[in-house]
Structure 1
Amino acid sequence: MATRTRRPERREEPLSRQRIVEAAIALLDTAGEGALTFRALAERLATGPGAIYWHVTGKDELLNAATDAVIAATMTTDTTSTADTAGTGAATPQEAIRTLALGVFDAIDAHPWIGTQLARAPSQSPLLRVFEHLGRHVQTLGVPHPAQFTAASALLNYILGVGGQNAANARGHHQHTSRTEFLNTTATAWANLDPDEYPFTRDVAHQLRDHDDRTEFLAGLDLILTGITTHQNPTDPTPP
């Protein structure tokens, strides 16, 4: 009788904190924060909850690690922009801030749960990463030291506010209809408002119908940057 050759068993990738965080991000993206349990995560990783607890102590730590992993990826792009600013060439501080802001905006759009996590834990590293890099760019802009905290905070609040609202709109209004259908319906409702009570809203209803979220986000960011740079370089001469 011929001897059967035993096929080698497939070796599974060992469980690690990185694998756990990646699986948590995938689960959060598909099912939201409410579905993130250690039991669901264990099923996805084909392991037991106890093995996960060896690497992560609880859900709060896991959410923070998942948020930090996504935000850290946006910082990689921002670091490149910062290096360009300090080198020969390409990026200005304004462009570096736009790159960072758009990276966070896109991250929140792709992972809507991040906006809530960033707002929930202001002392944690994910939010501090963004604030730190914004602050460095504000310093590079030449903003006077007493105004740097205000400038960086205004930029951070705008990014988180608009990014979070955009993600909330996508989750809340576009589940059963396309974005185009939703905007058309809303713009039509705006156009039919009482002309005496809502003259401005009626006047811009057509702009709502055709607007691009990322373009509007960057336009608003530029308004803030213009205000920051204008404030530090007043046109009126300083009185003696």
Structure 2
Amino acid sequence: MATRTRRSQRRTEALSRERIVEAAVELLDAAGESGLTFRALTERLATGPGAVYWHVANKDELLAAATEGVVTTALTEAAVPPEDSPQEGVRAVALGLSGAIEEHPWLATQLALQLARNPWGTVTARIFESLGRRVRALGVPESGWFTATSALLHYILGAAGQNAANATAPGTGAERAEFLGAVSAAWKDLDPDDYPFTRAVADQMREHDDREQFLAGIDFVLTGITTLHPPGAPPRTPPAGT
């Protein structure tokens, strides 16, 4: 009995939490959240469920760990040299997260859940810290740190999630250029009295590049932040009565 117990302990120690999370990410990438089951996980790891439960209590904890692992890697790879501007740092973080969401289609949903249900968790804190340090370096006064960082965070995750959905959206199976051409043509056919603006930008929509548009949005947000909080300016005083 003692020998079997020691062998079981050795197998449990050999199967690290990191390896379990890595296998979970592989399953999520291949089949989405529905494909991540403890049965599939134990088969992939060639182990028993007890060894997995030793490290991870349930599926929610496993999803959170997989999300944290992917986000940590994305943010680490997004590091820029200290001499680069805070704006370049924000763009690097944005592109890192966008790339991770594109590579792992399940990530956008999990990030939204983490922000809504577990804002005190490490996933939210890691992203907020990465963006917040750059916001502080822009010269934004402390009173504006939370709002400015939140605006960047929500834009980045929202736009990146939408772009990822566009890339994987079901449809006719046409290539992207054909798809955008069809949408552009449909917009041009809209009633000119009800949709004058949409008709006017139909050609721009057809020709746009998601990455360029994404970065343009980042620049809009950064311009707004630095316009409202120019470096060296005193903190803005709220209007009376607010």
TM-score range, shorter chain: 0.7 to 0.9
1:196 partnered with 2:184: no
SS of 2:169's partner is helix
Q: How far apart in 2 are the matches of 1:175 and 1:168?
A: 15
- 1:228 pairs with 225, 230, 233, which one? 225
Give 1:71's aligned amino acid: V
Q: Assess if the C-alpha contact under 8 Å between 1:134 and 1:156 holds in 2.
A: yes
Q: How far apart in 1 are the matches of 2:53 and 2:108?
A: 25
Aligned to 1:49: 49
Q: Deviations over 1:54-104 (max 9, x none)?
A: 1111111111111111111122134x32xx33xxx3x10000000001100
1:219 partnered with 2:216: yes
1:116 partnered with 2:116: no
Aligned to 1:66: 66
TM-score by length of 2: 0.84
Q: Assess if the C-alpha contact under 8 Å between 1:173 and 1:182 holds in 2.
A: no
Following TM superposition, by how much is the alpha carbon of 1:221 offset from its aligned partner in structure 2, in angstroms?
A: 0.5
Q: Assess if the C-alpha contact under 8 Å between 2:139 and 2:230 holds in 1.
A: no
Aligned to 1:32: 32
SS of 1:173's partner is coil
Q: Assess if the C-alpha contact under 8 Å between 2:128 and 2:149 holds in 1.
A: yes
Map of 1:1-240 to 2, 5 A cutoff? 14-78=14-78, 80-81=79-80, 84-85=81-82, 89=83, 91-122=84-115, 123=119, 124-173=121-170, 176-233=173-230
Following TM superposition, by how much is the alpha carbon of 1:163 offset from its aligned partner in structure 2, in angstroms?
A: 1.0
Q: Is 171-180 or 114-123 further displaced after alignment?
A: 171-180
Q: How far apart in 1 are the matches of 2:171 and 2:16?
A: 36
Following TM superposition, by how much is the alpha carbon of 1:175 offset from its aligned partner in structure 2, in angstroms?
A: 8.0
TM-score by length of 1: 0.85
SS of 1:189's partner is helix
Following TM superposition, by how much is the alpha carbon of 1:225 offset from its aligned partner in structure 2, in angstroms?
A: 0.2
Following TM superposition, by how much is the alpha carbon of 1:177 offset from its aligned partner in structure 2, in angstroms?
A: 3.4
Aligned to 1:6: none
Aligned to 2:240: none
Following TM superposition, by how much is the alpha carbon of 1:179 offset from its aligned partner in structure 2, in angstroms?
A: 2.1
Q: Is 167-176 or 92-101 further displaced after alignment?
A: 167-176
Q: How far apart in 1 are the matches of 2:20 and 2:195?
A: 51
Q: How far apart in 1 are the matches of 2:41 and 2:179?
A: 34
Q: How far apart in 2 are the matches of 1:175 and 1:103?
A: 30
Q: Deviations over 1:184-236 (max 9, x none)?
A: 221111121111111111111111212111110000110000010111129xx
Q: How far apart in 2 are the matches of 1:170 and 1:128?
A: 28
Aligned to 1:4: none
Q: How far apart in 2 are the matches of 1:216 and 1:112?
A: 20
Q: Assess if the C-alpha contact under 8 Å between 1:143 and 1:232 holds in 2.
A: yes
Runs of 4+ more than 4 Å apart: none
Quote the RMSD (CA, aligned, Å): 2.2
Change (3 A) 1:129 1:18: same
Any gaps of 5 or more consecutive residues in structure 2? 1-12, 237-242
SS of 1:121's partner is helix
Give 2:23's aligned amino acid: A
Q: How far apart in 1 are the matches of 2:175 and 2:47?
A: 38
